[in-house]
Structure 1
Amino acid sequence: MYDHDLYHQKILSDYVQNWEHHTNQPYNWNSAVTCDVCKGIVQELRSAIEAKAPRETLLNISNFFCVHFKIEDVRVCKLVIEQYKDVVFGVIEQSLLSPDEICAQLIPDDDCGVPYNPKARWNVTLSKTPKPPVKPTPYPKPGSPTMKILLLTDMHLDLDYQVGSNADCQEPLCCRVNDGTPAPDKKGAGFWGDYRHCDLSPHMFYNMMEYLKSIQDQFDMIYFTGDIPAHNIWNQTRVDQLVRMRTFISAIEKYLPDKPIYFAAGNHESSPCNIYAPPFVKGNMSQDWLYGAFAEVWTKWMPLDTIDTILKGGYYTVSPFPGLRIVSINSNYGTTDNWWLLVNNTDPAGQLQWLSDVLQQAEDNNEMVHILMHHPAKHEQVKQWSWNFYTLINRYENIIKAHFNGHSHDDFFNVIYDSENASRPIGVGYVPGSGTTYNNLNPGFRIYTVDGNYTGSTWAPLDWDNYVAEISKSSAETPPAWVKEYSPRSAYGLKSLNPSEWDDLINRMNKNDTLFQSFLTFRYKLATHGPCKGGCVASTLCDLKTSRTNSPDLCKDLY
């Protein structure tokens, strides 16, 4: 008989006693999940599975940890465990990793003291073609054609948003139909949105679409780098996700019918959120339901020869113009949040090997490359995936002209450096900020100007215009005004958008606090945030210099 109540009490008691002994302080029940808690959960579930405990017992164990360690409230704990149970139990049953190794991947910023795991090391096979001499990207001659690209990302459209509802619901997402009314001394959810833990309201979404329709002569095509559904990850079904995706697509077709759009898969597209099953997962737990929908929707704007890789792993390549190649990467196959990678993280779906081959062919054909990828480089990435990706970016630096990312809802950039010479910048990843207000942000979008469609074009970004709508200045009677927030060349004094200019900007911000504070204003899209001084400055600038997991040496010149 598996006495889970006894195990619960012992694990909880042991953990609290150890914590209080080492810190000489009473345990803080509101503290975040630590490595020790993670190990306790994994070991407890594994013991229960090996003892062939009933599924109800496994759910009780999970719920116990979630509630007692205040990971979420009782309602969210119950629903999120129901949402993720099949994946969690499947991964723990199949993974050969120890609790230490599992938790080191789930909580990479905590020191779990993980032993070396040789099975975690793998490398993509590079082409035998030698890397050509590095060629700086020239600035186009005056009068050269340009092209405009609208970048949308992280819409997180909440179809259950309710004006006037409780925006302080004490759950991860509020302002929804089931959140009730606000306390007497609190304001309810705003008509156009809310700065609190609330996602994009339908009113704001369609207002944005109307505005984009009114300026559609100012851009030629669209990049969308993922995340359509809202943040209610504890109670989303596959049907919910597909409805949200089709709602977004219907709006694009209605308001911008003549604009081609190219997609990248976000972590919120899937159900459960973050979980993208690699091809070795079969049956009902496979990713076929989502990749089939991607193939159906995405190929409305792309040739049918992209279907095979979309169905295999949610990635593809397409050449919309001579000399330009778009490569859409499914970065969910490289993140620590995708728990299936605890079973096997060796190049899921063969994506990075495919990327290596695509980049070599592009180099052979003298094509320039735009990479669309939801997660910025390094963010939440498994080390070996991150390092292999970084190797490919280094090898093909001559042709990769920009990385277009999303995921992080604020506006920033990542500089990519030479693997052999960490002082030489070779590329840049751009994160334009989200469509959603979640959280404490204004909704926004970006229009890039890139070198245009002509023989010899570099297809490199030349500048951009960021647009925001300040919801604090709107009301039910006063729609939000979309304003041009900034352009980087004028705001930061950049000569171009080449990597060396962004590297120089980081160095200048390290010495010029006024310039750094301007960057923060744009980072949060004109919304009010707290001060950033001292260590916060160094940490922020270090993030801008780091595009590879576990690479602290890239920041040593900042301290």
Structure 2
Amino acid sequence: MLFAAAAAAAAAALSLAALAGAQSSVALGNATFVAPGVFPTAAFDSYYNNATATDEQPQPVVTNILTGQPFPLALTDPNNIPVNDTADPRTFPPSPLPPSLASPLVQSAFAQIVSIANPNNTGWGNNSNCARCLAGLEVAKALALASSQSVPTLAVELCNYFKISTTCEQTYGVLALGQVLAQVLAAADVAGYDGQNICNNFVSGAPCALPPPSPLNMTGYFAKPKPANATAPAPSGERVKVLHISDFHLDARYANGAEANCTTSQCCRANNNNVHSPDQVLLPAPRFGTFTCDVPYSLGLAALQAIPAVTGAAFDFTIFTGDLVSHDPENELSQSLIEYTEASLYSLYKKYLGSGPLYAAIGNHDSYNQAEDAPLALGDQLGQANLSTQFSWNYDTLAALWEADDWISSDVAAQARAHYGAYSVARPDGLRIITLNTDLWYKANYFNYINMTKSDPSGMLRFVADELQAAEDAGERAWIIGHVLSGWDGSNPLNNPTNLFYQIVDRYSPHVVAAIFFGHTHEDQFQIFYANNATNASAASAAAVAWIAPSITPLTNLNSGFRMYEVDGKTFDILDAHTWYTNVSTFPALDNQTAVGPTFHYEYNTRQAYGTNISWPATAPLNATWWHRVTEQFEQHPALVQQFTTYQGKSSVLSPNCTSDLCVAAKICYMRSGSAPLGKLCTQGFGSVQ
């Protein structure tokens, strides 16, 4: 068989050495690991509560690295969750009128937009819904230019009128997204390309069709032409271990026994119930977590204890592809919660994940407001310098944490502070690690809807290209690490920047780019990049592959998992990969005892699971050519896509089947799509198993 169909079941009975086969030359750990049933109090120096109690989650004392002060218990107290962040400053673009003088303008703008949206208001032409949306944006922009601080008032009034949310003030008010909307409206071309994208993505019903990608002119973009002999180096035979973790999503406000089947927002919270049973908990939140919630400390520490036990530890280094913070609603987030989670988890990574450095990328939840990061040029565009530095607190915090843990040097930390939290490390072994802040191509980031005809208004991709050129000049290989994937089904990233990224990968593959890594989806996936924008997607044109990691969080309907790579110590190609998971459906049975915690199982070996029917040398890497041949096997044997789907959800009992011809074809198409424009060409609706 192509797949080791019984790999997950056999893992408990067979040694990992047998599962990995003779091809593996690294020492692995135990086939399974049973976490302790009691929380490991040595994880933190002190606690606000009894960390060994089983009726509540631990509340550790965590220190802010920039101030040296501990975060207060009130920040994470599950019984008193803040309604809005009132401490951090709100940043608005300059405008002539304060809110006290702009009330008539707000009411006029509100009346105009309501009138424009009225279906009885005729005369908008054949594309009436799009025209109405763009006209409404122009009215809102006029208000933003006249009185930017009045935009939140308008946003809340419109939200209430159109019943967009039941928490309009908390979500769009001055203490939440109101100031972000004001900046974007003031700077964006709302009547043109920017506005069409805004209406397509953020307005109910997508009244405007998604505009096509802008023409991409690469003339003069690269400092040098691609070398004629641009081939990947031959394998060296040396193997090292690299750990890949992603999407931890720690929920420090998790409440044991709270409603796990809540109606809206973040479940397993004391402040959120099921509206159909407000006085009774329908599904109590287990101590170690559940399918509908983020990671409590109990599950997080179980995973961190399991990683060295099952992998054999001794990683050369670790990569983390983002998302430390829980999926809180906008009004419950704050700058302090982001800083707390960053400080907490990076200290735990340092303590539990071994001697090698950890290289991290920012996730869309590792920011406040969630997913928001502004281009540095915004301050110049709107004439107010602090608009360019409004997210610097986060870059400063992350750089300080990474440097304090001896993962990056002071020079690299300075680079991270200046480059949206992204950086490049030229390791002494010949590998260049390049991280990027993918908020700058994520479609949920409002700031990306400014100057959208440009493929790289932030300069982030110019940074990546320059670093790859430096790697080429130095004879180095490179790994690119980000959070939001650049392609798959095209539902997460934006067209223009990922189109440009695709061309950058093509230019520097396969001789420089050894591998690319993403997270974000919480699922086990991959995507292939081809030469010439995939005009002929074949084994011969396959140039690079992106590995999309499973998540620690079980949200939503997934098991919790992580991966370790066997990497050629000279070429830095991936030679094999091993994935582990824990079965979340077993967690409720662990509540009424303290003898054991979650059990982590070996799930599968990538080379064995996907490569049995592929003629491929045992020492050759699992590169883009190999992965394309895997997709060819999927085409020849469609039933094999079901096994891929099982692994996609980390063997979750809740993952749907993929047995229809439509599903099989769609998933193969996603696997061959490394950019948003390519992913959008695939049949939609099969990208996720959640």
Partner residue of 2:25? Answer: none
Is the CA contact (8 Å cut-off) linking 1:451 and 1:460 kept in structure 2? Answer: yes
Consecutive unaligned residues of structure 2, counting only runs of 5 or more, are 1-103, 380-384, 684-690
Q: Which residue of 1 aligns with 2:645?
A: 520
Q: Secondary structure in 1 aligned to 2:262?
A: coil
**Aligned: 1:205 with 2:300:** yes
**Does structure 2 conserve the Cα–Cα contact (< 8 Å) formed by 1:278 and 1:287?**
no
Aligned match for 2:428, one of 321, 331, 334: 321
Task: Tell whether 2:448 aligns with 1:341.
Answer: yes
1:175 equivalenced with 2:274 (yes/no): no
Displacement of 1:206 in angstroms is: 1.1
- Quick one: which of 491, 497, 516 aligns to 1:403? 516
Separation (CA, whole Å) in 1 of partners of 2:432 and 2:299: 33
Equivalent residue letter for 2:581? V
SS in 2 for 1:321: coil
Q: Which runs of 5+ in 1 are unaligned?
A: 23-33
Contact 1:164–1:181 under 8 Å retained in 2: no
> Which stretch shifts more, 352-361 or 497-506?
352-361
Tell me the distance in 2 between the aligned counterparts of 1:517 and 1:116.
33
Which runs of structure 2 are paired with 1:129-528 in the superposition (5 Å)? 129-136=225-232, 138-140=234-236, 144-180=237-273, 183=277, 184=280, 186-196=282-292, 198-215=293-310, 217=313, 219-234=315-330, 235-256=332-353, 258-280=355-377, 281=379, 282-283=385-386, 286-299=390-403, 300-313=406-419, 314-344=421-451, 346=454, 347-378=456-487, 379=490, 380-397=492-509, 398-419=511-532, 421-423=535-537, 424-452=541-569, 457-474=570-587, 475-476=590-591, 477=593, 478-493=596-611, 495=616, 496-527=621-652, 528=654
User: Shift in Å at residue 517 of structure 1?
Assistant: 0.2
CA distance in 2, matches of 1:67, 1:137: 60
Report the residue type matching 2:656 in the other structure.
G
Check the 8 A contact 1:412/1:430 in 2, yes or no: yes
Structure 1 residues 546, 517: CA separation in 2 closer, same or farther (over 3 Å shift)?
Answer: same
Q: How much identity, in percent, do the aligned residues show?
A: 25
In 2: Cα distance, 1:547 partner to 1:529 partner? 24
Per-residue deviation, 1:63: 2.8
Cα 1:462/1:119, change in 2 over 3 Å: closer
TM-score, length of structure 2 as denominator length: 0.71
Alpha-carbon shift at residue 553 of structure 1 (Å): 9.8
Counterpart of 1:266 in 2: which secondary structure?
coil
8 Å CA contact 2:528, 2:628 repeated in 1: yes
Measured after TM superposition, the shift of residue 484 of structure 1 is: 0.8
SS of 1:464's equivalent? strand
Q: For residues 314-353 of structure 1, what are the alpha-carbon distances to aligned partners after superposition, in whole Å with 9 as ceiling and x for unaligned?
A: 2111123322111111222223322223333543443322
For 1:513, the aligned partner's letter is P
Query: 2: distance between equivalents of 1:117 and 1:225?
Result: 27
Query: CA offset at residue 149 of structure 1?
Result: 0.7
User: Which amino acid in 1 is paired with 2:438?
Assistant: S
The structural deviation recorded for 1:71 is 4.3
Q: Contact 1:8–1:64 (CA<8 Å) still a contact in 2?
A: no
CA distance in structure 2 between the aligned counterparts of 1:176 and 1:470, rounded to whole angstroms: 22
CA distance in 2, matches of 1:119, 1:105: 19
Residue 10 (str. 1) matches residue 103 (str. 2): no
What CA deviation, in whole Å up to 9, does each residue of 1:57-94 have, x standing for no partner? x334323444555544x136633544111111111012
Alpha carbons 2:373, 2:445 under 8 Å: kept: yes
**8 A Cα contact 2:135 2:191, kept in partner:** no
Measure how far apart 1:230 and its partner are.
0.6
Structure 2 partner of 1:31: none
**1:287-317 residue CA offsets vs partner (Å, 9 max, x unmatched):** 2111111210122311222133211122111
For residues 374 and 315 of structure 2, what CA distance do their matches in structure 1 show? 36
User: Is the Cα contact below 8 Å between 2:258 and 2:284 reproduced in 1?
Assistant: yes
Instruction: Give the Å deviation of 1:263.
Output: 0.8
**Displacement of 1:435 after TM fit?**
1.0
Deviation, 1:36, is 7.7
1:544 matched to 2:671? The reply is yes
* Aligned AA (1:327): I
More helix by share: 1
**Counterpart secondary structure, 1:482:** strand
Secondary structure at the counterpart of residue 440 of structure 1: coil
Distance 1:376 1:468 in 2: 22
1:7 Cα shift?
A: 4.0
Higher relative contact order (CA 8 A, sep 6+): 2
Structure 1 residues 257 and 340 mapped into 2: Cα distance closer, same or farther (>3 Å)?
A: same
Which of 639, 651, 656 aligns to 1:530? It is 656
Deviations 1:356-387 (A, max 9, x none): 22212211221111111112123533333222
Paired residues of 1:221 and 1:259 also in contact (CA < 8 A):
yes
